[in-house]
Amino acid sequence: MGMSLDADLLDRWTKLAGPQARVVGEDLVRRYREPHRRYHTVEHLAAMLAVIDDLAADAEDLDAVRYAAFFHDAVYAVDGTDNEEASARLAETALPALGVGAGTVAEAARLVRLTGGHHPDPSDRNGAVLCDADLAILAADTAAYAAYTAAVRAEYAHVPDPLFRSGRAAVLAALAGQPALFRTPTARARYESAARANLAAELATLTVEQAREPGAE
């Protein structure tokens, strides 16, 4: 399965960037297979690309959105604070060398940076598609959502439970507090209600676990 997925991703990459770009594609796949990753993996990238396919009609520059997907987690350090910036800079270096136009490079890099907060402007159609694809996992069914949360916890295995719970709860609460998790009409109709149910359930579980911690009021 793993090697087949790698081949599929490389095929998608060379169709997007051209056969001369294969070495860059192989490097990107290798990055998403780094051993410290548990969620930000080739499976996540493939899932994002599939959602982008579904939302293609909502994008203004579909190539830029797809380039951004390939690069958005290319640099991923669990304790890093500038992963998106480093990934965007990698795109700004790699894509011009492949002959990608300056406008597409700039847009792809902008979109990569946008995934740091998932707050596209209402008029930002490309940003809406990329962010919706990145967050689509929030609407997964019960088993897939449990696998997702377990993978995120595994990436942060070095963080003690109380710190992880408080940090995770803060992230989820910020997401849940947004007027809309998804920006494209298609994704909002397809994912919004399920994602909100998953967020509420996980937050409730975290709240119970926090209440059981030693010293909790």
Dihedral, 34, 35, 37, 41 alpha carbons, nearest 10: 50
CA distance 102 to 108: 10
CA distance 115 to 165: 22
Lowest mean pLDDT among 106-110, 171-175, 196-200: 171-175
**N residues, the chain:** 217
CA distance 86 to 178: 27
* Average pLDDT of the chain, as a whole number: 95
Neighbours of 182 (CB within 10 A): 24
* 78-89 mean pLDDT: 93
* 8-33 mean pLDDT: 97
DSSP assignment of 159-178: S-HHHHHHHHHHHHHHHHTS
Calculate the alpha carbon distances from 26 to 21, 95, 169 in Å.
Answer: 9, 14, 36
Give rounded-to-5 percent helix, strand, coil for the chain: 70, 0, 30
What is the pLDDT at residue 14? 98
Q: Given a cut of 70, is residue 216 above it in pLDDT?
A: no
pLDDT exceeding 90 applies to what percent of the chain?
A: 92
* 184-195 mean pLDDT: 97
What is the pLDDT at residue 144? 97
pTM of the model: 0.94
Amino acid at 53: D
Q: Given a cut of 60, is residue 199 above it in pLDDT?
A: yes
* 29-57 mean pLDDT: 97
CA distance 134 to 119: 12
Q: pLDDT of 114-149, one tens digit each?
A: 999 899 999 999 999 999 999 999 999 999 999 999
What is the pLDDT at residue 1? 47
Q: Which residues contact 121 (CB under 8 A, 6 or more apart)?
A: 127
CA distance 182 to 173: 15
Q: pLDDT of 86-110, one tens digit each?
A: 999 999 999 999 999 999 999 999 9
